[in-house]
Amino acid sequence: MSEQAGRKRAAYYNSATYASPTWVHLARISDVNRTQSRSSSDRMYRGAKNKKKATGYKEHSFTFKYHVKKAGTTDTVLDKLQDSFDNDTVIDICFMNGKFDTGTTRTGVRGPVVVSKFDISEADEEGVTYDVELVEVEDDTIPEITAFSVTTA
């Protein structure tokens, strides 16, 4: 069994500036997958006995289900995701090893993303959900995805 259940981990988006973030908890997500990959190419030359690999750039993406709030309720997270999908609005996001509780240090990753997939599911007897995919993008104000740590007072 895993040391920590996935449900104890947390994701946030920044609603302020990069230097002085205000974190908004993505509390209504489930089934989070964080993909990290790196391309590779073959290196073969006459002096080597074995074929080697050269690694390329890293690639990051995140997928999850977003569970919509009850109809008539303001849902700022859904609005943020929809805006990113519709307008290519960059989101400063972090995925952490736990919630930002008082007196804790949390680690994870942080960087600029946009919503690249925003599929809706309207099952007859279940709540409405969105299948969301976030992909890393280039941004002038947010550094690329990297390790991130937060200590709360």
Residue 6 pLDDT = 65
pLDDT for 5 equals: 60
Tell me phi and psi for residue 81, to 5 degrees. -65, -45
pLDDT at residue 1, as a whole number: 43
Average pLDDT, rounded, for the chain: 91
Q: Tokens representing 137?
A: 């993008």
Query: Can you tell me the distance from the alpha carbon of 20 to that of 24, in angstroms, rounded to the nearest whole number?
Result: 13
Percent of the chain with pLDDT over 70: 96
- Burial (CB count within 10 angstroms: exposed 0-12, middle 13-18, buried 19+), residue 22: exposed
The answer to whether residues 18 and 91 touch, using CB atoms and an 8 Å cutoff, is no
Cα separation, 43 vs 53, whole angstroms: 5
Mean pLDDT value of segment 105-123: 95
Report how far residue 33's alpha carbon sits from residue 107's, in angstroms, rounded to the nearest whole number: 17
Which of 131, 146, 6, 14 lies closest to 80, judged by CA? 14
Q: What angle is formed at CA 117 by the lines to CA 113 and CA 120, rounded to 5 degrees? A: 130
Least confident of 36-50, 77-91, 104-118: 36-50
Per mean pLDDT, which range of 55-59, 132-136, 147-151 is the poorest?
55-59
Segment 72-89 mean pLDDT: 95
Per-residue model confidence as pLDDT tens digits over 31-79: 999 988 888 888 888 888 898 888 888 888 999 999 998 878 899 999 9
Q: Kindly report, residue by residue over 9-39, the tens digit of the pLDDT.
A: 899 999 999 999 999 999 999 999 998 888 8
pTM: 0.85
Q: Residue 3 has what pLDDT? A: 57
Name the phi and psi angles at 82, rounded to 5: -60, -45
What are phi and psi for residue 78, nearest 5 degrees?
Answer: -60, -40
